[in-house]
A and B are shown apart, each in its own frame.
Chain A
Amino acid sequence: MTTSDATLKKKTDKSSAKKISWDTWAVLAAFIAALLIRFGVVKHIPW
């Protein structure tokens, strides 16, 4: 992260205070992925 990105993050945080944060989106995305795996929609993730 550069300082200009941090400035952007601050501005974004201020402008979207009432919107869902990236933090929460990340949790939602992780849980959707976990449920897709749990209910067999995605069966295998290679590494």
Chain B
Amino acid sequence: MSETFAIPQIKQVQVKQAQPNPQFLRVIPGILLLAAIGYAGKLLEQSVGKYAKSHHWIFPNIEYVLWAILLGLAISNTVGVPAIFRAGVATYEFWLKVGIVLLGARFLLGDVLKLGGVSLALVAIEITGAIAFMTLLGRIFHLKPKLTTLLAVGSAVCGVSAIIATQGAIDADEEDSSFAIAAILALGALALFTFPLIGRALHLSDHAYGLWAGLAVDNTAEASAAGALYSDAAGKLAVLAKTTRNAMIGFVVLAYAIYWAGQGQAQTVKNKAVFLWQKFPKFVLGFLLISVLATYHFFSKDQVTALANLSRWAFLLTFAGVGLRTNFREMRNQGLRPFAVGAIGEVVIAVFTLGLVIGAQKIWGW
């Protein structure tokens, strides 16, 4: 896909003149692929379960989430994703955000404020602890200071989006952000398979597990998938906790931008309010607004069910995309040291946030 952007400007104009909306048309094959893989995952969940039951086999119920991710991973890491599908497959983050906004209909405002309040307190502790630990780890491993900043933001706040936002704000190298993104994505992929197993082993409630996945898994798509792999209720909580984390992105990036500007290594932030608005993820506002509308009965019960189902379809495309976009070979090529720092940091953050959630579970009795 990056080749498209290497085409000189004049050629892009010519293409635009020939085709009225090439960007729109370019994404259709990939979106259809996401839908096909997601739907195949849904069919596999039903048919494999039925087949095992009819033959009296003891077979674990593998949910559509895992089937969709596995199918995507199989394609991405064997035959690869053909070029014609790539632009559309990249829309999986768009579907993720559509799904999150629509999911707001399943939360009453009171629940959002209560759970969001708990999440906010835990998120504040998690962000502070994660940034402090990753900074220390970066110094121990002698990583470049800006690479350390990117890894710290990526693991403390919200993965790829936070790294990209910070890279622009602190004038970090492209190479550094690629390293940080690769480390965060590789670890997110590992979390998909390890978190549900750990949650089951520790007999975590849906509530506690969902909160943990939302606090500890860095990329929003992987956090949502890790939650949904456990249960529907855990998926909802994971999205809420992750959305709370996402809401913090502007403040953390602003703090780092001011720090690096103070060091004379980044541009000064002129208008802090504008900066915060630019960095603020707008889907968080959409999620809250839908939740307000649902709370004040703007939607009937059947309409809330329809919105929730639509949200599930959007997440289905997202989970297919998570598998299709995870390429272990490319991640391996990014280098070991930033990955090692990220891995150590992620394990410590996962244990730390698990302790936070278990503590909160005891206090609130979930």
Is B282's CB under 8 angstroms from A30's CB?
Answer: no
Per-residue contact bits, chain B 93-130, to A (CB 8 Å; 1 contact, 0 not): 11111100110010000000000000000000000000
**CB closest residue in chain B, given A42:** B306
User: Which one of B176-184, B197-205, B351-359 is at the interface?
Assistant: B176-184
Per-residue contact bits, chain B 31-43, to A (CB 8 Å; 1 contact, 0 not): 0000000000000
Contact (A37, B101) CB under 8 Å given A8-B90, A10-B167, A26-B283: no
Is A38's CB under 8 angstroms from B285's CB?
Answer: no
Beta-carbon contacts under 8 Å, B278-307 to A: 281-283, 285-286, 289-290, 293, 298-299, 302-303, 305-307
Chain B residue numbers with a CB within 8 Å of A31 are 101, 286, 289-290
Is A30's CB under 8 angstroms from B101's CB?
Answer: yes
Contact (A23, B160) CB under 8 Å given A1-B185, A3-B178, A5-B325: no
Q: How far is the CB of A29 from chain B (nearest CB, A)?
A: 5
Q: Could you tell me the dominant secondary structure of chain B's interface residues?
A: helix
Chain B residue numbers with a CB within 8 Å of A14 are 168
Q: How many A residues touch the partner, as a band? A: 35 or more
Residue of B182, B221, B286 touching A27 (CB-CB under 8 A): B286
Q: How far is the CB of A21 from chain B (nearest CB, A)?
A: 7
Is B5's CB under 8 angstroms from A1's CB?
Answer: no
Is A45's CB under 8 angstroms from B306's CB?
Answer: yes
Q: How far is the CB of B182 from chain A (nearest CB, A)?
A: 5
Is B290's CB under 8 angstroms from A30's CB?
Answer: yes
**A43 to B90 Cα, complex, angstroms:** 30
Q: How far is the CB of A4 from chain B (nearest CB, A)?
A: 5
User: Which one of B49-57, B133-141, B309-317 is at the interface?
Assistant: B309-317
Interface presence of B231 (CB below 8 A):
no
Residue of B221, B282, B312 touching A23 (CB-CB under 8 A): B282
**A7 to B178 Cα, complex, angstroms:** 8
**A34 to B331 Cα, complex, angstroms:** 38
**CB closest residue in chain A, given B310:** A45
**A46 to B302 Cα, complex, angstroms:** 11
Is B5's CB under 8 angstroms from A11's CB?
Answer: yes
Residue of A5, A7, A38 touching B174 (CB-CB under 8 A): A7
Contact (A3, B182) CB under 8 Å given A37-B306, A37-B307: yes
Residue of A5, A27, A37 touching B1 (CB-CB under 8 A): A5
Is A27's CB under 8 angstroms from B285's CB?
Answer: yes
Is B97's CB under 8 angstroms from A45's CB?
Answer: no
Beta-carbon contacts under 8 Å, A17-46 to B: 21-27, 29-31, 33-34, 37-38, 42-46
**A26 to B285 Cα, complex, angstroms:** 12
Contact (A34, B290) CB under 8 Å given A23-B97, A26-B283, A27-B283: yes
Chain B residue numbers with a CB within 8 Å of A13 are 164, 168
Is A2's CB under 8 angstroms from B327's CB?
Answer: yes
A1, A38, A43, A46: residue with the most chain B Cβ atoms closer than 10 Å:
A1
Chain B residue numbers with a CB within 8 Å of A2 are 185, 325-327, 330-331
Q: What are 11 A-B interface contacts by the 8 Å CB criterion? A: A4-B2, A4-B330, A6-B160, A6-B164, A9-B90, A10-B167, A10-B177, A22-B93, A23-B97, A31-B101, A44-B302
Q: A3-B334, A10-B174 are in contact. List 18 more A-B contacts (CB 8 A).
A: A1-B93, A1-B326, A2-B326, A3-B182, A6-B177, A7-B2, A8-B90, A10-B177, A11-B2, A15-B5, A22-B93, A23-B282, A27-B286, A29-B94, A34-B293, A38-B298, A45-B309, A45-B310
Interface residues of A (CB under 8 A from B): 1-15, 21-27, 29-31, 33-34, 37-38, 42-47
